[in-house]
């Protein structure tokens, strides 16, 4: 028989963590309790509600339809509670945390942040670097900056494109001088980041010219390291204009074939349905900055010149 009294908050929290992680062990780690404690809390919640929330063998439990619906509602409810607690802790200044691609943060976002701070001195912006898929239910994030392809969706997230993406080969002036041939480019070591290993193949398809086999490939964990390696003369890299614009302008890098526009764009993500005037202000500022951010001054000439 169902109880009219609400279930214990600890049981709801344990179940929500289990549903979000898809396992008792990960949920126990987050909550700093034992695997058995989470299991008992989930079992107690089922007894209290008189509804099966999970099904299957103990080591491969899955959510029932009722469990999936409850978990989705609980994630939103706990996010609201977190927002309320954080708001109570703050003074008249609001801090928002924005997850951002590391190289984009370094080369594009942070140099422009003083402008946002001047417009909104009451809002503090904390930038955390990440390339991972965004899950607002798992972390205390207010927004995120990522690269999305046309038609790409994110469940329960509001997507706002704000900056086009241009891409092209870059290197040190002595390695990739203006006027170099495509054949000469093909003989250089190819640099790429582990976060986007297919960069050369994507650019080759974008400009419509097949690449010869790479004489040598050098991989770096992140785009920032790859860009620095290119500036140091270690080879050529395919990089977004937003990642290398300051180095192109300073003469540390050159782009012998210019930059071609990709269909993908830089987008701002935020939790769908979560109202926050500070996040609104940051999103609107990003859109405005994107609209006035200069594109590459070097048009894409194509590998054939």
Per the structure, how many domains does the chain have? 3
User: Angle formed by the axes of helices 24-31 and 35-49, to 10°?
Assistant: 100
Confidence (pLDDT) at 22: 85
Confidence (pLDDT) at 305: 44
Q: Are residues 48 and 78 in the same domain?
A: yes
Integer Cα distance of 56 and 218 in angstroms: 46
Which residues, in sequence order, are bridge partners of residue 145?
A: 100, 268
Confidence (pLDDT) at 63: 86
Determine, yes or no, domain membership for 1: no
Comparing 80-94, 241-255, 286-300, the range with the smallest average pLDDT is 80-94
- 69 HSE (CA, 13 A, CB side): 5
- 246 HSE (CA, 13 A, CB side): 14
Task: Compute the CA torsion angle 152, 157, 162, 166 (nearest 10 deg).
Answer: -30
- State the pLDDT confidence band at 137, using cuts at 50, 70 and 90: confident
The better pLDDT of the pair 82, 257 is held by: 257
Q: Are residues 283 and 149 in the same domain?
A: yes
- Which of 88, 122, 138 is the last residue before a domain boundary? 88
Q: What is the pTM of this model?
A: 0.68
pLDDT per position as a tens digit, 210-233:
888 999 999 999 999 999 999 999
Confidence (pLDDT) at 28: 83
- Which of 88, 112, 131 is the last residue before a domain boundary? 88
What mean pLDDT comes out for the span 277-299? 92
Confidence (pLDDT) at 29: 86
Confidence (pLDDT) at 57: 82
**CATH number for the domain that contains residue 110:** 3.40.190.10
Element (H, E) at 148: strand 143-148
Cβ contact 94:282 at 8 Å: no
pLDDT higher than 50, residue 47: yes
pLDDT higher than 60, residue 91: no
pLDDT per position as a tens digit, 24-46:
888 888 888 888 888 888 888 88
279 SS3 class: helix
Q: Which residue has the tokens 């695997």?
A: 35
Range of the domain at 70: 9-88
- State the pLDDT confidence band at 278, using cuts at 50, 70 and 90: very high
What mean pLDDT comes out for the span 1-30? 81
pLDDT higher than 60, residue 181: yes
Confidence (pLDDT) at 92: 54
pLDDT higher than 70, residue 208: yes
């Amino acid at each position: 028989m169902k109880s009219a009294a609400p279930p214990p908050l600890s049981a709801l929290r344990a179940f929500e963590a289990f549903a979000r992680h898809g396992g008792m062990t990960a949920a126990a780690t987050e909550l700093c309790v034992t695997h058995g404690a989470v299991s008992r809390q989930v079992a107690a919640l089922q007894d209290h509600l008189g509804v099966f929330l999970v099904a299957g063998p103990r080591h491969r439990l899955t959510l029932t339809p009722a469990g999936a619906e409850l978990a989705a509602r609980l994630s939103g409810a706990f996010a609201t509670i977190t927002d309320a607690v954080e708001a109570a802790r703050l003074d008249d200044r609001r801090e928002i945390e924005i997850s951002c691609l590391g190289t984009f943060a370094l080369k594009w976002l942070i140099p422009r942040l003083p402008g946002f701070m001047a417009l909104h001195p009451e809002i503090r912006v904390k930038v955390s670097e990440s390339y991972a898929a965004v899950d607002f239910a798992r972390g205390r994030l207010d927004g995120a900056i990522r690269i999305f392809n046309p038609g790409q969706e994110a469940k329960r997230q509001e997507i706002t494109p704000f900056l086009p993406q241009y891409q092209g080969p870059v290197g040190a002036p002595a390695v990739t001088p203006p006027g170099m041939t495509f054949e000469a480019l093909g003989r250089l070591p190819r640099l790429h980041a582990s976060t986007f290993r297919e960069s050369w193949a994507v650019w080759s398809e974008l400009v419509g010219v097949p690449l010869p086999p790479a004489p040598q490939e050098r991989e770096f964990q992140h785009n920032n390291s790859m860009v620095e390696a290119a500036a140091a003369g270690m080879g050529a890299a395919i990089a977004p204009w937003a990642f290398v614009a300051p180095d192109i302008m300073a003469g540390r890098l050159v782009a012998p074939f210019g930059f071609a526009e990709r269909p993908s764009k830089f987008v701002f993500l935020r939790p769908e349905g979560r109202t926050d005037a500070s996040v609104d202000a940051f999103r609107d500022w990003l859109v405005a900055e994107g609209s006035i951010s200069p594109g590459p001054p070097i048009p894409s000439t194509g590998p054939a010149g």
